Every structure is written in structure tokens, then in C-alpha cells.
Amino acid sequence: MKVECIFCKIINGEIPSKKIYEDENVLAFLDINPSSPGHTLVVPKRHILDFQEIDDDDLLNLMKICKNLSKKIVSVLDADGYSILQNNGIAQDVKHFHLHIIPKYSNDKTMDIDEVYKKITNE
């Protein structure tokens, strides 16, 4: 049975994304419908449903990557803080484990996704 998962399609290159981090196990990309400029999704490349299914080693690896990315995002985008968020069950829009890094700003900051991408990737 083929999994119809938008994140798996992004991971497989079937759907384009603004990748800001990638290794053999993890992909991080900008959310196309961001809560704030720099809203990033950090996902395991292997399809894992939710928090209950992810093994401890994968979770620890994702959290380390999330920690490093959040430092970079906050610094480069001059954010005043950030939230790390993870949803499960009916709160989970995409049924593939993922972490959200959501930068927070004291003033309304507006940047389009291309501007954010250029700042984060130094392109």
C-alpha cells in the first residue's frame, strides 16, 4: 500500500519545498502557510505517524536538529523568541511526525517566504 503523505512527497522530491536543512534522516523546510516569517517544519524522512510511534533515538536526533535550527532562525531573522510545537491525533493536520519551529516577533514582521529562505540559506 502506497502512503499518500504530502511530507513523504516533499521528501521524495515530488513536491518542491524551501529546504533549509537535510541529512540522511531528516528534512527541514519552510512552511508554505507560515504562522510567522521563518515558520519551519522538521520531519523524519522515514514515515512515522506521531509522537507515540517515533523511537527515542529518532526523537532525540530531531530535537537536536530542531535546537540548532531554532538558534539559526532566531539569529538570522532577528526574532524575539520562538515556539517548538508538535501535534498529534485530531490536532495533527499532516499524519507524519513533525516539529514546528515558529519564530515570535514583538512587532509585526512581514517577509515573504523567498526573502526568509534567502536570509536563512545565505543565498
- Return the closest-CA partner of residue 32 out of 122, 114, 120: 114
- Which residue in the list 39, 96, 98, 100 is annotated as catalytic? 98
- Active-site residue, 100 included: no
Q: What CA–CA distance (Å, rounded) separates 103 from 78? A: 9
Amino acid 71 reads K
Taking each helix axis from N to C end, the angle separating 113-121 and 56-77, rounded to the nearest 10 degrees, works out to 100
Give catalytic residues, as residue numbers. 98
